[in-house]
Amino acid sequence: MAGSQNIRHAVRILRAGGIIAYPTEGVFGLGCLPEKQSAVSEILAIKGRDPSRGLVLIVSDPGQISTWIDFPHTELDLASTSDRPVSWIIPASDDAPAWISGDHDSIAVRLTTHPIANALCTNADSAIVSTSANITGHAPARNSLLLRRQFDSLVDYIVPGECGPARGPSEIRDYLTGEIVRPA
């Protein structure tokens, strides 16, 4: 796991409005604090991603998104495992920023089981944007060499660590219906 000094450094960058790359359960993610609209816009530009699609947020505690969902966070069961991570689509509250929800009336959230991603959310005391480290339409980075080759000059910090144990991006499910929106 990344040392606590790496986590503290990454959190300082996030709070200053910066962008980090970090390991998750399946692939490296690009992230920022979700309330930092300019950082979110920069991530979308780096990826070439359509803002209308919305973004996944990771949390270490469902309370970190309580004001942005229209569902009691105390009742949320964001079940997921490290080898089969699931991001859940949850109805958004009126307070959820459009730059996170895109054209949807919902937001996608994953309770991260990856120790580094979890430590980032815990130490930032915040949800973190978690979109795969790739240019839209290309495979996401699963190893440090590919990540550095593609994103080293585009992000403010790359948190050391390894992805895994999942083999790719998370499955996405609708929280209310259980319907699989994107298979793993």
Strands 131-132 and 106-111 turn out to be: unpaired
Residue 3: the pLDDT is 76
Please, which pLDDT band fits residue 2 given cuts at 50, 70 and 90?
low
Q: How far is CA 50 from the centre of its chain?
A: 16
* Per-residue model confidence as pLDDT tens digits over 8-66: 999 999 999 999 999 999 999 999 999 999 999 999 999 999 999 999 999 999 999 99
* Distance in angstroms (rounded) separating the CA atoms of residues 111 and 98: 21
Radius of gyration of the chain (CA): 15
Average pLDDT over residues 123-129: 98
All domains in the chain, ordered by first residue: 4-182 (3.90.870.10)
C-beta separation of 63 from 177 below 8 A: no
Residue 91: the pLDDT is 96
* Per-residue model confidence as pLDDT tens digits over 66-125: 999 998 877 888 988 788 899 999 999 999 999 999 999 999 999 999 999 999 999 999
Residue 1: the pLDDT is 44
DSSP assignment, residue 69? B
When comparing pLDDT for 76 and 165, which is higher? Answer: 165
Strands 180-182 and 157-158 turn out to be: unpaired
